[in-house]
Amino acid sequence: MSGSLSSLKVLDFTTLLPGPFGAMILADWGAEVVRIESPTRPDMVRMLPPMDDGVSACHGFLNRSKKSLALDLKRPDAVAVVKRLVKDYDIVVEQFRPGVMDRLGVGYEVLKEANPGLIFCSITGYGQTGPYKQRAGHDLNYLSIAGVAGYNGRKDGGPAPVNVQIADVAGGSYHSVMAILAAVIHRQQTGEGQHLDISMTDAAFSMHALTAPPALVGGVEPRLEETQLNGGSFYDCYETSDGRWLSVAGLEPQFFAQFCQAIGHPEWSSKGLALNPDIQGPLKQDIAAVMKTRTLAEWVEVFSPLDACVEPVLSFSEACEHPHIVERELLVDVPTAGGGSQRQLASPVKFSATPPRYDFTGVQLGAHTDEVLLGAGFSEEEIAGLRKSGATM
């Protein structure tokens, strides 16, 4: 099986997390992805420990199945290579600040002259326009500007960083994939390519799915521990007697009733406490006191046969061994360049006809330079000339 996107060819100019993760999704689903990376300014992810056979494990994951082409875009010969390559590619993904690709001579307007059907996806923190377009930032900054961080955390501790990169991955990576595939369908119908402007801040702002409507229509400002889903209700995590934690999320009456019955307080469900905002504080204190009477294992045994929306809070290592994760095959062994394999997260999407592919882990910088250029029609003499000029390594 070659994958759902086997007809697409992608040039990936991105570094760090958002762009590489998005391009990896395209590669998992069958697209041919060539990663273009500077030999003089390597991606910082390459330096993140631990190393596996000389390659960062994070790099090995984020860049699996991608061919690596080393090009120094500050060299005119390298720019000429990109202009020649792009004629045979469908998609360009880049993650520089606005205007950088233009200054390097490989911006959208230039490249679409060589390929009018080109889909050119730009991923940035704040977008191609607006007062913050040139401002530096990271995931936490984007979530802060977007109002997401403002009600994430505890009242007694203030806003807190989120443990996974929501703006980077849910905002930059997944939104870029969605936009690219929408643009592919548009091109199939019209033959027209286009420039996609993906702002991680904009994407994060769009995720206020259940808090924006009350705020915009009713003036209900979401605050720390004041919404139903951020600690303002019994929907929360509770400590057990052995210092572990249990998530309790049965907001619906039928789930809450089962929960109350299981913990020995069926009378709580009959009073409609689950939906009463005025009683949430005392209710949480009562639940916390009950949860403290048993160990996590004991509570898991109580709730395992019930449909009460109660689950243990697992560590990452424990999650890897959970029967659901195992049965769904969410970990995969991917071949490495050294002949071994590396354990990685698998694609979470199940295709009945075109399963994801995992060709190899991310490779050393420039590992496929000759292969890519020869495949694009460059002669060995031309490649040697590129090396001599410093355009490649």
Type and span of the H or E element at 299: helix 296-303
Mapped onto helix, strand or coil, the DSSP state of residue 216 is helix
**138 among known catalytic residues:** yes
φ and ψ of 160, to 5 deg: -130, 145
Question: What is the rounded distance in angstroms from the CA atom of residue 258 to the CA atom of residue 307?
Answer: 7
Closest CA to 67 of 366, 376, 387, 384: 366
Q: Are 334 and 341 in contact (CB under 8 A)?
A: yes
Count CB neighbours of 79 within 10 A.
18
Q: Dihedral sign, CA of 150, 153, 154, 156?
A: negative
Question: What is the rounded distance in angstroms from the CA atom of residue 95 to the CA atom of residue 73?
Answer: 14
From 138, 195, 265, 322, active-site residue: 138
Question: What is the rounded distance in angstroms from the CA atom of residue 106 to the CA atom of residue 112?
Answer: 10
Rounded to a whole number of angstroms, the CA Rg of the chain reads 25
| DSSP annotation string for 147-213 | TSGGGSEETTTEE---SS-IIIIIIIIHHHHHHHHHHHHHHHHH---EEEEEEHHHHHHTT-TTTHH
Closest CA to 25 of 155, 125, 121: 121
**59 among known catalytic residues:** no
From 28, 90, 139, 168, active-site residue: 168
Which residues are catalytically annotated? 138, 168
